[in-house]
């Protein structure tokens, strides 16, 4: 009678069940994978941060001013090796702030050819000329007009150098003979004017070919100056050409 009334079933011991063991292993593997992924992500972030910190540079804090003339050359020529201002030039001036090594900058000019020059239709009306002076190229590169005028509409990058008699970028008054600092070598210091006498080399086209390019008083050139070590833009303005 006692055996008939005893319906208690034996308790199953699942401690050593294969299912129990698989669940435990899966949990451990999951935690380990999460730890590995976390470590990898942390390592990648740390490597990127350290590399970024090592490769970046701070842009100079500076105020720049650029002016440009369209008038013909007058005054004492550069061949006399006298510091005399010449209106046939572009003038860069650091009004205030940090000095800038010229080797650290790119000067990017963008010029759109006007429809007319003194009422006459221009040859390349509406075309855009983009030209870059790279200070890191140094003074050994000299700009020359392309044999095919159409080539000026292909963006170009070059250094800046004039003929032997006026191949220096001098602070204060203008272009002179040997002895003054070149673009790419000189440092632009606050309070000085730096004269790029050859507008054609600066802009990348023949500024005296008026009917083709219409460069004249009132023309507008967009100038961007990039500080290459930091990748920052330190000047970005439209410059209206004076006579």
Encode the chain (243 residues) as per-residue pLDDT tens digits.
455 555 555 555 555 555 555 555 567 777 777 887 888 888 777 766 555 444 457 988 999 999 998 877 654 444 444 445 555 678 888 899 999 999 999 999 999 999 999 999 999 999 999 999 999 997 777 778 888 888 999 999 998 876 544 555 655 544 444 456 678 888 888 888 888 878 888 999 999 899 999 999 999 999 999 999 999 999 999 999 998
Residues 109 and 203 sit within 8 Å (Cβ to Cβ): yes
Per the domain annotation, does 4 fall within a domain?
no
Is residue 26 located within the same domain as residue 128? no
Instruction: Give Dmax (Cα) for the chain.
Output: 135
Q: What is the pLDDT of residue 178?
A: 47
**Strand arrangement, sheet containing 220-227:** 156-158, 128-134, 105-112, 220-227, 232-240
Residues 75 and 32 in one domain: no
Query: Do residues 5 and 11 make contact, with C-beta atoms less than 8 angstroms apart?
Result: no
Strand segments, DSSP code E, in the chain are: 62-68, 90-97, 100-101, 105-112, 116-117, 120-121, 128-134, 156-158, 187-188, 193-196, 220-227, 232-240
Same-domain check for residues 29 and 94: no
Beta pairing class for 156-158 and 128-134 = parallel
Residues 131 and 21 in one domain: no
pTM of model > 0.75: no
Q: Tell me whether residue 93 is in a domain.
A: yes
What integer pLDDT is reported at residue 54 of this predicted model?
46
37 lies in a domain?
A: yes
Q: Given the structure tokens 């205030």, which residue do they identify?
A: 96
3-state helix, strand, coil in the chain (%, to 5): 30, 25, 45
Q: Does residue 110 lie within any of the structural domains?
A: yes
49 and 121 in a single domain? The answer is no
Q: Is residue 11 part of a domain?
A: no
One domain, residues 195 and 213: yes
Domain membership of residue 2 (yes or no) is: no
Work out how many domains the chain is built from and give that number.
Answer: 2
How far is it, in rounded angstroms, from Cα 63 to Cα 194? 14
Instruction: Give 210-235 as a DSSP string.
Output: HHHH---TT-EEEEEEEETTTTEEEE
Do 52 and 118 belong to one domain? Answer: no
Domain boundary among 56, 78, 106: 56
Judgement on whether residues 233 and 183 belong to the same structural domain of the protein = yes
**Statement to judge: residues 122 and 178 lie in one domain:** yes
Instruction: Tell me: do 197 and 79 sit in the same domain.
Output: yes
- Does residue 3 belong to any structural domain of this protein? no
**Helix H or strand E segment including 55:** helix 18-55
Q: Note whether residue 12 is domain-resident.
A: no
**Domain endpoint, select from 34, 56, 78:** 56
What confidence score (pLDDT) does residue 212 get? 96
Same domain, 77 and 176: yes
74 and 164 housed in the same domain: yes
Three-class SS of residue 53?
helix
| Structural domain boundaries, residue 83 | 62-240
Question: Residue 210's closest CA among 117, 127, 119, 131?
Answer: 117
Rounded to the nearest 5 degrees, what angle is found at the Cα of 156, between the Cα atoms of 205 and 55?
A: 140
Smallest CA-to-CA distance from 173 within 93, 68, 65, 98 is with 93
């Amino acid at each position: 009678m006692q055996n008939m009334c005893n319906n208690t079933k034996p308790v199953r011991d699942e401690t050593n069940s294969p299912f129990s063991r698989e669940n435990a292993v899966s949990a451990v593997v999951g935690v380990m994978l999460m730890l590995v992924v976390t470590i990898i992500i942390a390592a990648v972030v740390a490597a990127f941060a350290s590399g970024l910190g090592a490769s970046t540079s701070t842009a100079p804090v500076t105020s720049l001013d650029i002016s440009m003339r369209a008038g013909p050359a007058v005054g004492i020529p550069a061949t006399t090796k006298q510091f005399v201002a010449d209106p046939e030039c572009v003038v860069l001036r650091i009004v205030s702030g940090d000095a800038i090594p010229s080797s650290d900058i790119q000067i990017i000019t963008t010029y759109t050819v006007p429809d007319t020059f003194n009422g006459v239709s221009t040859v390349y009306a509406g075309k855009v000329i983009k030209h870059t002076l790279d200070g890191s190229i140094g003074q050994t590169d000299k700009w020359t007009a392309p044999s095919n005028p159409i080539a000026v509409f292909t963006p170009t990058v070059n250094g800046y150098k004039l003929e032997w008699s006026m191949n220096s970028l001098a602070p204060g008054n203008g272009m002179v003979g040997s002895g003054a600092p070149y673009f790419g070598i000189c440092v632009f210091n606050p309070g000085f004017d730096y004269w790029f006498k050859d507008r054609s080399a600066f802009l990348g086209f023949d500024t005296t070919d008026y009917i083709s390019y219409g460069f004249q008083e009132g023309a507008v050139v967009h100038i961007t100056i990039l500080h290459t070590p930091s990748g920052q833009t330190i000047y970005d303005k439209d410059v209206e050409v004076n006579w």
